[in-house]
Structure 1
Amino acid sequence: MPTDPAREFTIAAEPSLSADEFVDVLRRSTLAERRPVDNADQIAGMLAHAHVVLTARTPEGALVGVSRAITDFHYCTYLSDLAVDVDYQGRGVGRRLIEETHAVAGRQTTLILLSAPAARGYYPHIGMEQHDSCWIIRPTAS
């Protein structure tokens, strides 16, 4: 029986993930294009104030994916970052990170994710439902 490639990776909670490792996987996933990777204070704050930070690592310990979520653990979970190294995409790593993030935050919560433009076709493929009424206020200079 063939092995499931997604099971070749270890998914673990890493609330103390370093900013350097986080930025590195953001760059290798292309998510860095939409994240403040050159603002060390902002990246550090994003990690420090997340409720759930999960990583996907190879058996050798290489970081190949990360999910970062904000949740109240009762009603909603916002999966703010889902980054998988492009060399490891298509192996189920993203799907497992989503599943485990939802499990940690509580399956009774609604998991919410804003897709990167290039990933819009991926989420329906793994069973996520598109929602048509998201509204945002862009950040302003401080």
Structure 2
Amino acid sequence: MTASRPILYGREDSLDRAEFRRVLIESGLGAIRPVDDEARLEAMLSGADLIVTARRDEPGRPLLGVARCVTDFSWCCYLSELAVSRSAQGLGIGKGLLDETRRLIGPQVSLMLASVPDAVGFYERAGMARIADAFWYRRER
């Protein structure tokens, strides 16, 4: 994919489930997300407080990447998925999605995420700090 057409970043309140599924699969996150459970994908989208997308500025505006977040827009924001189609990786889209998410939540809100091991370097290069004392209960399914 060439970088000839501009990338458009924006908030989308109703992202199509099939587009979301496709980007999850194409990004590699499909291996650890419930991409074959349509009801759960729909619940993930409808339960998100903030969905930021990256689309190519061309007819049909194909979805290249997505940041799906749960936030109160006041104190904290959890970025659950940052997914960029493999064909669009290396174009700065992941960083663009992070930047647009931060712009939309504002400087008073912290942005947190749990990285897959292969993406740790990306987040470090993007300027994110590691959290030493984080805890969680793993989902059972």
- Same fold, TM-score > 0.5, yes or no: yes
For the 8 Å contact 1:77–1:102, the answer to whether it is kept is: no
- Name which of 16, 33, 45 aligns with 2:14: 16
| Structure 2 Cα separation of the partners of residues 92 and 55 of structure 1 | 13
Match of 1:120, SS state, is helix
Task: Note if 1:119 corresponds to 2:127.
Answer: no
Q: How big is the shift at 1:59?
A: 1.4
Task: Note if 1:77 corresponds to 2:83.
Answer: no
Q: How big is the shift at 1:22?
A: 0.2
Q: Given residue 49 of structure 2, which amino acid in structure 1 is its aligned partner? A: H
Q: How big is the shift at 1:72?
A: 0.8
Partner of 1:68: 68
Partner of 1:98: 98
Match of 1:94, SS state, is helix
- Name which of 41, 44, 48 aligns with 1:43: 41
Q: How big is the shift at 1:102?
A: 1.6
**Mean alpha-carbon deviation: is it higher for 117-126 or for 7-16?**
7-16
Task: Note if 1:30 corresponds to 2:34.
Answer: no
Aligned length: 137
Match of 2:40, SS state, is helix
**Mean alpha-carbon deviation: is it higher for 7-16 or for 69-78?**
7-16
Q: How big is the shift at 1:116?
A: 1.3
Q: How big is the shift at 1:137?
A: 0.9
Partner of 1:137: 137
Q: How big is the shift at 1:54?
A: 1.1
Task: Note if 1:56 corresponds to 2:48.
Answer: no
- Provide structure 2 residue ranges, at least 5 long, that are not aligned to the other structure: none
| Structure 2 Cα separation of the partners of residues 106 and 71 of structure 1 | 12
Which runs of 4 or more aligned residues in structure 1 lie more than 4 Å from their structure 2 counterparts after TM superposition?
A: none
Partner of 2:107: 107
What is the root-mean-square deviation in Å for CA atoms of aligned residues? 1.6
- Provide structure 1 residue ranges, at least 5 long, that are not aligned to the other structure: none
| Structure 2 Cα separation of the partners of residues 137 and 54 of structure 1 | 27
For the 8 Å contact 1:17–1:47, the answer to whether it is kept is: yes
For the 8 Å contact 1:66–1:84, the answer to whether it is kept is: yes
Q: Given residue 121 of structure 2, which amino acid in structure 1 is its aligned partner? A: G
| Structure 1 Cα separation of the partners of residues 139 and 112 of structure 2 | 20
